[in-house]
């Protein structure tokens, strides 16, 4: 029964309905919103171009990375920058700043002994550990 239904669908598509199906498919694709992964990868691309390709960098945020929204943002950051390892530590030479409220960045950096290396906008920053 399934084979007959599949053959009927393929036959209908081949008989001329393929343009309608193709048009409907592309219209459906255009309505989809970019996934959180794709959005994060796009947002972090400028920082990824500056950070080392391998090794470990720290992570600083105004969100608690142990809450669901903060953890999700942290894990998406790890995924987007792999194979670079993103650690929840601020004791690395380079620290990625990922802020919902960029106005909090300066104080958090100061508290952690970091200086701003580069600000990419939209709450995305790279910090460097200050020399002791």
Q: Which tens digits make up the pLDDT trace of 105-126?
A: 999 999 999 999 999 999 999 9
Mean pLDDT of 31-43: 84
pLDDT digits (tens, 9 = 90+) for 82-98: 999 999 999 999 999 99
pLDDT of residue 21: 57
Paired strand residues for 98: 124
Distance, CA of 132 to CA of 114 (rounded, Å): 11
User: How far apart, in whole angstroms, are the C-alpha atoms of residue 55 and residue 15?
Assistant: 56
> What radius of gyration do the chain's Cα atoms show?
22
End-to-end CA distance of the chain, in Å? 75
Phi, psi of 131 (to 5 degrees): -65, 140
Tokens of 9: 């669908």
Q: Report CA 20 to chain centroid distance, whole Å.
A: 35
DSSP state of 122: T
Q: Which of 65, 36, 52, 132 is nearest to 95 (CA)?
A: 52
pTM of the model: 0.73
The predicted pLDDT at position 127 comes to 98
């Amino acid at each position: 029964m399934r084979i007959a239904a599949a053959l009927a669908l393929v036959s209908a598509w081949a008989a001329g309905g393929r343009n309608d199906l193709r048009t409907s498919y592309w219209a459906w694709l255009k309505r989809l919103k970019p996934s959180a992964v794709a959005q994060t990868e796009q947002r972090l691309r400028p920082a990824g171009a500056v950070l080392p390709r391998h090794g470990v960098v720290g992570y600083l945020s105004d969100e608690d990375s142990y809450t669901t929204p903060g953890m999700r943002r942290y894990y998406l950051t790890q995924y987007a920058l792999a194979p670079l390892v993103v650690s929840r530590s601020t004791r690395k030479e380079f620290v990625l700043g990922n802020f919902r409220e960029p106005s909090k960045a300066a104080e958090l950096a100061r508290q952690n002994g970091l200086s701003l290396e580069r600000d990419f906008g939209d709450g995305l920053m790279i910090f460097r550990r200050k020399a002791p």
